[in-house]
Amino acid sequence: MIAYVLRRILSAIPVMLFVAFFVFALLSFAPGDPAALLAGENATPDDIARIRANLGLDQPFFTRFFHWIWHVLHGDLGTSLFTGQTVGHMIAQRLAPTFSLMVLTMIVSVVIAIPAGAWAAWWHNRWNDRLVMLWAVLSFSIPSFVVGYILAWIFGLKLRWLPVQGYVPFDQGLWASVQTLILPAFALGSVYVGLITRFTRSTLIETLSQDYVRTARAKGVSNRRILFRHALKNAAVPIVTVVGSGVALLISGTVVTETVFAIPGLGRLTVDAILRRDYPVIQGVILLFSFLYVLVNLAVDLLYTVFDPRIKY
């Protein structure tokens, strides 16, 4: 097991290098010039050229890339072109809201989606199944920012049950912090819930048709025990796979969701950096998200051995 984990970590290094090169190249050749934004509307071409030289943007592409990647390997993600702060410090300031939102979204989504998918599979082709599938398709089809505005209008503006904007840190009160994350978590998890529900249903339908399930029914095993002890446990590996793969949806969804609910997380930081062409910040955030996705995939692979002892590494 330890050898496998080490191999996976080592194999992630070239993946991260490729992501770093791709992002750096994409931003370098994208339209827009951060030097022109810094110089202002009344700047002359000489002013812009001087700023580009100070920022090192006038150097060749590969020179800038190798200079940047060398500092990244030493733990330095660079400095913001606009604020002058280090990228690592800016990410650290915004990490807690985003991480809290993603964790709460995953918990809420799994708690809702897996029982709903199991219920639909058990009542396959009946009205229960059709009702759950209608809800799952709608959940998967409606963009998260639309769901966010609807939830904010109903539960924030009309009922006044929950705040619709801002974020309260955990050190200022656990419940106050959770309140600010409930609506964003349900909005962000709407697509995630639809995905997990549909996949859980289809996987369990196939599992419930297996011979060992029919044998358990013939022996008089209760329906609840058949569903949760036998069928769901044997269907856990593909379900865990889609739960882990869906983290990509959460990562991309945080950008929009944090903007809708004014949460000062990495999503808002990314949007602001893109609008200002703050290349070091964009590169640092994307590298962090890529590394997080690699870690989640590793955790999913390790969970396979928990649900299916036949899998050995």
Give the CATH number, domain containing residue 245. 1.10.3720.10
Residue 312 lies in a domain: no
pLDDT at residue 259 in the model: 85
The answer to whether the beta carbons of residues 272 and 262 sit under 8 Å apart is: no
Quote the number of domains for the chain: 2
Q: Which of 104-113, 199-208, 301-310 has the lowest mean pLDDT?
A: 301-310
Residues 142 and 184 in one domain: yes
First vs last C-alpha separation in the chain? 6
Q: Which domain holds residue 150?
A: 88-307
**Cα–chain-centroid distance for residue 145?**
15
Task: Give tens-digit pLDDT for 92-134.
Answer: 988 889 999 999 998 999 899 988 988 888 888 888 888 988 9
Residue 313 lies in a domain: no
pLDDT confidence tier of residue 313, bands split at 50, 70 and 90: low
Map residue 19 onto helix, strand or coil. Answer: helix
Residues 121 and 247 in one domain: yes
pTM score > 0.75 for this model? Answer: yes
Backbone dihedral angles phi then psi of residue 158, each to the nearest 5 degrees: -85, -55
The answer to whether the beta carbons of residues 292 and 266 sit under 8 Å apart is: no
Residues 216 and 261 in one domain: yes
d(C-alpha 221, C-alpha 273), whole Å: 58
d(C-alpha 291, C-alpha 150), whole Å: 33
- Please say whether the dihedral angle defined by the alpha carbons of residues 119, 121, 126 and 130, taken in this order, is positive or negative: positive
Angle at 143 (CA atoms; ends 142, 145), nearest 5 degrees: 130
- pLDDT of 284 above 70: yes
Question: What is the residue whose two structure tokens read 């269907």?
Answer: 235
